[in-house]
C-alpha cells in the first residue's frame, strides 16, 4: 500500500455520504395514504433525507460565493464586457470540440492517424495534460491498463490504449511505491514518461508528427522529445495546427461537418478578439481569471436557487 493512501485513510477526511434515493410519485402517494391526510406532498418531500442533505449544503455554497465575489472585486474590472465575451467564446469552442472529439475518437476513424510521433492533447476531467507524443497503440482490457487514476478508466469492455509520452511531475511512476503519473506543478521542470491513455481522453489531435528515439528508457531520450514539443509551442504561439476532421480524415457525416464549421467560425472570432491579440500576458491572465470567477459565481447562485426549490418528483 502506498504511503499517501495509508496517510489519507488515517488522517484524511471521510468521503461524504450523499444519498441518491429519491421519492417516486407512487412512493409519495403511498406515504400520504398511510398518513391519512396529515401531511401534504410538499411536506413529505421537504422532510426527505435527499432534500435535507442538499439544503444543508446551502451555507457552504453561500460562503464560496462570498469568497469568489471578494476575489472578483480585487481583480481588474476594466473591459469586463470584453472579458465575458472572450470567455464565452472559449466555453462554446470547448463544448463543440468535446462533441466533435467524441465522434472522431471512434477507433475506426482515428487509429489510422495515431502513428508514432503524432502530437495529441490529453485531458483528464478538469486536468489538462497538454501536448503529448504517441508512442504506440495497443488493444487491451481496461483492467490491465491501470496507470492513470481510476477516473481515466473506460466503461467499455475491450478498448484501445494509446501509449503516450506525457510531461509528468518528477517522482511520478507506474511503480506501486511512487505516486501515479500527474502533470507537473507550475514552475516544476518535470519529466517525460510513457503513460497508457484511453482513446476517450484524447481532446485534440495535431497535424504534426515528431521523430522519437527508438529507445525511450534513458531519461535523456525522453527529455529530448519534451524539448522538441516545447520548441513547437514557441513556433506556433496561437496553438499547434489541428487535424481537420473533414479535410484530413475524409469524414463526410453532415452533422460532423456542421460541427467543424461552427468550431472554425468561433475560432476565427476568438483569434480576432482584442484580448487574444493583447501583448500583456499578465493582464490577459487577470482578465481570464475574472471571467472564470464570474462564471463560477453565476453557476453557484443558480445552484442555490435550484436547491431552495422543492425538486420535481
Q: CB neighbours of 230 closer than 8 A, spacing ≥ 6?
A: none
CA 36, CA 260: separation in Å to the nearest integer?
59
Per-block average pLDDT, block size 10, for the chain (313 residues)? 68 66 71 70 66 74 88 72 79 86 83 92 85 91 49 50 90 55 82 89 91 91 92 88 80 82 87 69 71 85 72 45
pLDDT of the residue at 291: 77
The pLDDT of residue 225 is 93
> What is this structure's pTM?
0.59
What local confidence, expressed as pLDDT, does residue 18 receive? Answer: 63
CATH domain 106-243 topology = Elongation Factor Tu (Ef-tu); domain 3 (2.40.30)
User: Given this model, what pLDDT does residue 124 score?
Assistant: 83
Q: How many CA atoms lie within 13 A of 19 on its CB side?
A: 12
Q: What is the pLDDT of residue 152?
A: 44
d(CA 241, CA 116): 18
Segments making up each domain of the chain, as ranges: 39-74+280-313, 90-104+244-277, 106-243
Q: Which three cell numbers mark 25?
A: 410519485
d(CA 212, CA 166): 13
Can you give the pLDDT at residue 164? Answer: 94
> What residue spans of the chain are helical by DSSP H?
3-11, 25-35, 41-46, 49-56, 58-74, 80-104, 107-110, 219-235, 254-272, 281-308
- Round to whole Å and give the CA distance between 129 and 124: 7
C-alpha cell at 284: 490577459
Residue 120's pLDDT is 94
Amino acid at each position: 500500500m502506498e504511503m499517501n493512501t495509508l496517510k489519507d485513510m488515517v488522517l484524511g477526511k471521510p468521503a461524504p455520504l450523499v444519498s441518491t434515493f429519491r421519492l417516486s410519485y407512487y412512493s409519495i402517494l403511498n406515504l400520504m395514504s398511510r398518513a391519512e391526510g396529515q401531511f401534504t406532498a410538499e411536506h413529505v418531500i421537504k422532510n426527505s433525507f435527499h432534500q435535507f442533505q442538499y439544503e444543508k449544503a446551502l451555507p457552504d455554497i453561500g460562503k464560496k460565493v462570498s469568497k469568489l465575489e471578494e476575489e472578483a472585486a480585487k481583480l481588474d474590472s476594466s473591459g469586463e464586457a470584453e472579458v465575458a465575451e472572450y470567455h464565452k467564446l472559449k466555453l462554446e469552442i470547448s463544448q463543440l470540440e468535446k462533441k466533435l472529439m467524441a465522434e472522431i475518437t471512434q477507433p475506426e476513424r482515428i487509429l489510422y492517424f495515431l502513428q508514432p510521433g503524432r502530437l495529441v492533447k490529453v485531458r483528464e476531467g478538469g486536468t489538462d495534460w497538454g501536448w503529448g507524443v504517441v508512442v504506440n497503440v495497443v488493444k487491451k482490457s481496461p483492467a490491465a491498463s491501470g496507470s492513470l487514476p481510476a477516473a481515466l478508466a473506460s466503461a467499455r469492455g475491450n478498448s484501445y490504449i494509446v501509449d503516450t509520452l506525457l510531461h509528468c511531475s518528477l517522482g511520478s511512476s507506474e511503480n506501486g511505491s511512487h505516486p501515479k503519473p500527474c502533470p507537473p506543478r507550475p514552475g516544476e521542470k518535470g519529466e517525460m514518461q510513457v503513460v497508457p491513455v484511453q482513446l476517450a481522453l484524447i481532446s485534440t489531435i495535431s497535424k504534426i508528427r515528431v521523430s522519437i528515439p527508438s529507445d525511450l528508457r534513458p531519461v535523456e531520450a525522453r527529455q529530448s522529445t519534451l524539448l522538441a514539443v516545447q520548441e513547437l509551442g514557441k513556433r506556433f504561439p496561437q496553438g499547434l495546427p489541428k487535424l481537420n476532421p473533414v479535410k484530413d480524415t475524409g469524414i463526410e457525416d453532415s452533422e460532423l461537418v456542421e460541427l467543424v464549421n461552427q468550431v472554425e467560425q468561433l475560432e476565427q472570432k476568438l483569434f480576432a478578439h482584442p484580448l487574444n491579440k493583447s501583448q500583456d500576458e499578465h493582464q490577459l491572465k487577470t482578465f481570464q481569471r475574472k471571467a472564470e470567477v464570474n462564471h463560477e459565481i453565476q453557476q453557484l447562485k443558480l445552484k442555490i436557487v435550484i436547491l431552495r426549490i422543492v425538486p420535481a418528483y
